[in-house]
Amino acid sequence: GAVVSQHPSRVICKSGTSVKIECRSLDFQATTMFWYRQFPKQSLMLMATSNEGSKATYEQGVEKDKFLINHASLTLSTLTVTSAHPEDSSFYICSAPRLAGTYNEQFFGPGTRLTVL
Amino acid sequence: QQQVKQSPQSLIVQKGGISIINCAYENTAFDYFPWYQQFPGKGPALLIAIRPDVSEKKEGRFTISFNKSAKQFSLHIMDSQPGDSATYFCAASMQGAQKLVFGQGTRLTINP
Alpha carbon distance B50, B48 (integer Å): 7
Tell how far CA B83 is from the center of its chain: 17
Averaged pLDDT of chain B: 94
CA dihedral A62, A63, A66, A70 (to 10 degrees): 70
Q: Do B42 and A111 touch (CB under 8 A)?
A: yes
CB pairs under 8 A between A and B: 59
Give the pLDDT confidence of B19-69 residue by residue, as tens digits: 999 999 999 999 899 999 999 999 999 999 998 889 999 999 999 999 999
**How big is the CA angle at A19 (ends A32 and A113), to the nearest 5 degrees?**
80
The pLDDT of residue B1 is above 90: no
The pLDDT of residue A30 is above 70: yes
Which chain B residues touch A48 with a CB distance below 8 Å?
none
Averaged pLDDT of chain A: 93
Query: B49 vs chain A: nearest CA distance in angstroms?
Result: 9
Which chain B residues touch A111 with a CB distance below 8 Å?
41-43
B16 φ, ψ (degrees, to nearest 5): 90, -10
B18 touches B76 (CB < 8 A)? yes
Count H helices and E strands in chain B, helices first.
Answer: 0, 11
The arithmetic mean of pLDDT across residues A72-97, rounded, is 95
Chain A touched by B95 (CB under 8 Å):
yes
Which chain B residues touch A41 with a CB distance below 8 Å?
105, 107
Q: Residue A69 has what pLDDT?
A: 96
